[in-house]
Structure formats: structure tokens, C-alpha cells
């Protein structure tokens, strides 16, 4: 086993561990911290895939922004003390069965499939190529994405605004 | 060299854990976190396929960036909705938010 494979197993294990902690931990705050572990490990996976820009964006946007937003959300909606509710709902055995079944099907299908792999992996597109692609062939989706972010920002402000008489 | 299947299986595992979180948790914020994990696993798939199947193009990375933008918008609006529900119903448990149930 080569070094990169060992690093992949380490990062993948951390990601799966964080994800499992996220869905099972009772304290929602701990569960959000476990999610941050998973997101950081996924940034490491991007580095292994030679997509450094994605790794940076992952840390900036997911760990820096979305995780912080979720932590604030948890603190703002902390349930009133004494109303300890169960972590899982009544349908959790069914949910577990569905998830495990989907995982089994996906794993078998993904491992068995013959992907049309590129014969030799040339150097991954650089960050400069990525920027040129965003401004060239993908300029329209790029602009639409910025409109989407603006709409989401205004919508979030209006929805979360304190209702006044 | 890491086989492509390793990335795909890792992403499938993360997707299924996220799916379980969405289906089984009661807290609305925990459900949102599960959805974020599912989006992340899709991003790993896009980046891995670009690296192994369409090496040399940047289309996969471009799509990952759009996906992250959509995920950020989703998280912002989702949390705003949860805050609004918490203000009016005083709970974030999805089982107690059943106004539309007949």
C-alpha cells in the first residue's frame, strides 16, 4: 500500500467517523463539531484529488461560513431546558434499513462498474484554467449563481426578520 | 495511485450516512446538516470523476463550485426558515411542526 493510499484511508476514516458522530451524537453542538471534522477531512480528499482550489473553497465556505451559520442556528434555537427530546424519530429503524440498503446497492454497483478511465492522467486543470472556464464557457451559470446568492440573502433576511406589529 | 472506486465508495458511505441523518433525526438543524453532508458526497464524486475519467478538463471542478454556491444558499434560507419556525412555534423538532397535517 502506497503512502497516498494510507493518507486516503486516514482521511476517509476521519470523514466517516465525523459523519457518524454528526448523525448519532445527542448534543446538537457536538454533532455540529463532528460535522466540521467530516468537512475538513473532505477538504483533504480534494487535495488528494489534486483539486487544491476546491480544498480551499471547502474550508472557506463550508467550515468557515456554513458550519458557523449552523452553530449560530443551534445556539439561537436551543430548546428550553427540561424538554429533553429524543434524538431519533419513530421511523429511525426504517431510515436505517433504507440507508444501509442503498449503501449496499451503491457499493456493489460502483465497484463492479467498468468506468471509461482516461488512459493516462494528465496534469489536472490549474486554478487559472478554472477561472478562465468560469469566465468563458460557464459565464452564464456563473452570473445566475450570483443572482441566486443575492436572492437567497434577501430571502433569508426577510424570512428571519423579527415580525413587528 | 488510489483506485477510482475508493472515492466512489467513500462518497456513497457519506451520502448514506447523510440520508440516515435526514430521515431519522428530529431536530430540523440536524436534518439540514445531513443534507449538507449529502451535497458534499456528491461534490467528491464530481471531483473524482473529473480526475479519473475526464482528466484535463475543469468541468467537474466548475460544477463543484456551483454546487457549493447552491449549498450555501440552501443553508442560509433553511436556517432562516428554522429560526422563523422557532419564533412562532417555540420548537425546532420537525414532529411538532405539523400545521399542514390534516
ipTM (interface pTM): 0.90
Q: Is A147 an 8 Å CB contact of chain B?
A: no
- The β-bridge partners of B25 are A88
What is the pLDDT averaged over residues A131-140? 91
- CATH code, domain carrying A23: 1.20.120.1200
**Per-residue pLDDT tens digits for B71-93:** 999 999 999 999 988 888 888 88
Q: Residue A50 — pLDDT band, cuts 50, 70, 90?
A: confident
- The β-bridge partners of B27 are B93
What is the pLDDT averaged over residues B6-18? 94
What is the pLDDT averaged over residues A81-98? 76
Look at residue A82 in the predicted model and tell me its pLDDT: 42
Is residue A140 one of the residues assigned to a domain?
yes
- Alpha carbon distance A126, A53 (integer Å): 9
Q: Is A115 an 8 Å CB contact of chain B?
A: yes
By CA distance, what is A35's nearest residue in B?
B33
Is residue B100 one of the residues assigned to a domain?
no
B10 lies in which domain range? 4-89
A136 lies in which domain range? 128-165
Look at residue A56 in the predicted model and tell me its pLDDT: 94
Q: Is A75 an 8 Å CB contact of chain B?
A: no
- CATH code, domain carrying B25: 1.10.287.3510
Q: Give the closest-approach CA distance of A136 to chain B in angstroms.
A: 12
Grid cell 473553497 in the structure block, residue: A57
User: Structural domain tally of chain A?
Assistant: 2
Look at residue A162 in the predicted model and tell me its pLDDT: 73
User: Structural domain tally of chain B?
Assistant: 1
Amino acid at each position: 500500500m502506497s503512502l497516498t493510499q494510507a493518507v486516503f484511508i486516514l482521511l476517509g476514516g476521519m470523514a466517516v467517523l465525523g459523519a457518524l458522530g454528526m448523525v448519532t451524537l445527542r448534543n446538537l453542538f457536538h454533532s455540529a463539531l463532528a460535522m466540521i471534522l467530516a468537512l475538513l477531512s473532505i477538504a483533504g480528499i480534494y487535495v488528494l484529488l489534486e483539486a487544491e482550489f476546491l480544498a480551499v473553497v471547502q474550508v472557506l465556505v463550508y467550515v468557515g461560513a456554513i458550519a458557523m451559520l449552523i452553530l449560530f442556528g443551534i445556539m439561537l434555537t436551543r430548546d428550553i431546558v427540561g424538554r429533553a427530546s429524543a434524538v431519533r424519530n419513530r421511523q429511525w429503524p426504517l431510515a436505517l434499513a433504507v440507508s444501509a440498503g442503498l449503501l449496499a446497492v451503491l457499493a456493489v454497483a460502483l465497484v463492479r462498474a467498468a468506468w471509461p478511465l482516461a488512459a493516462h492522467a494528465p496534469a489536472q486543470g490549474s486554478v487559472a484554467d478554472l477561472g478562465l472556464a468560469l469566465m468563458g464557457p460557464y459565464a452564464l451559470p456563473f452570473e445566475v449563481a450570483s443572482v441566486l446568492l443575492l436572492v437567497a440573502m434577501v430571502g433569508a433576511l426577510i424570512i428571519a426578520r423579527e415580525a413587528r406589529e | 495511485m488510489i483506485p477510482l472506486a475508493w472515492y466512489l465508495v467513500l462518497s456513497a458511505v457519506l451520502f448514506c450516512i447523510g440520508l440516515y441523518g435526514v430521515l431519522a433525526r428530529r431536530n430540523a438543524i440536524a436534518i439540514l446538516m445531513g443534507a449538507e453532508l449529502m451535497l458534499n458526497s456528491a461534490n467528491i464524486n464530481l471531483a473524482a470523476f473529473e480526475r479519473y475519467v475526464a482528466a484535463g478538463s475543469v468541468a467537474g471542478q466548475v460544477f463543484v463550485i456551483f454546487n457549493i454556491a447552491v449549498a450555501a444558499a440552501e443553508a442560509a434560507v433553511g436556517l432562516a426558515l428554522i429560526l422563523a419556525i422557532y419564533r412562532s412555534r417555540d420548537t425546532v423538532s420537525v414532529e411538532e411542526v405539523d400545521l399542514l397535517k390534516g
